[in-house]
């Protein structure tokens, strides 16, 4: 039974993450998933998210002093622009990066590009 429940929890977390482009934190996902699974704990959500990251299905966006945000890996590789004012995270399509500029023999495990700045909405405040 435990396995079935875990699978349901995993599916619910995955569904919540897949259907948003807001790059939520674990607390937001917890709120979403609880609509379907009222008894799920925040700890379970964290562990499930961690398992999704380990499994290469999701990635994290970590910034000092703020909750880790999660992102479903939507097929194509994308990068992020982070608003330093409101914390919004936007998906950015970037052409292939110049990996030829890397030191010889360097093996790339992960590529992350983050643009930091202020979004349009915050500029007009």
Residues found near Zn ion in the complex (CB under 5 A) = 71, 83, 85-86, 88, 91, 119, 122
CB of 94 to Zn ion, least distance (A): 12
Hey, how many other C-beta atoms are within 10 angstroms of the C-beta on 117? 11
Instruction: Please provide the DSSP assignment of 97-111 as one string.
Output: P-GGGSPTTPPPS--
Residues in contact with 26: Cβ distance below 8 Å, sequence separation at least 6, in sequence order? 42, 45, 46, 49, 67, 68, 70
Terminal CA-CA length for the chain? 52
CB of 76 to Zn ion, least distance (A): 11
Residue with smaller CB distance to Zn ion, 102 or 113 = 113
Nearer of residues 6 and 25 to Zn ion, judged by Cβ: 25
Q: How many CB atoms lie within 10 A of CB 108?
A: 8
Residue number with CB closer to Zn ion (37 or 53)? 53
Q: Which residues have a Cβ under 8 Å from the Cβ of 51 and sit 6 or more positions away? A: 10
CB of 27 to Zn ion, least distance (A): 18
Question: Which is closer to Zn ion, CB of 5 or CB of 112?
Answer: 112
Least separation in angstroms between CB 69 and Zn ion: 9
């Amino acid at each position: 039974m435990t396995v079935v429940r875990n699978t349901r929890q995993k599916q619910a977390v995955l569904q919540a993450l897949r259907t948003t482009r807001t790059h939520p934190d674990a607390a937001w996902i917890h709120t979403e998933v609880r609509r379907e699974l009222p008894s799920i704990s925040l700890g379970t959500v964290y562990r499930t998210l961690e398992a999704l990251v380990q499994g290469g299905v999701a990635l994290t966006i970590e910034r000092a002093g703020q909750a880790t945000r999660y992102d479903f890996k939507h097929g194509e590789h994308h990068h992020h622009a982070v608003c330093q004012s409101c914390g919004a995270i936007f998906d950015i399509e970037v052409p292939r990066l110049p990996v030829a500029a890397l030191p010889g023999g360097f093996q790339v495990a992960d590529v992350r590009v983050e643009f930091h700045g202020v979004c349009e909405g915050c500029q007009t405040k």
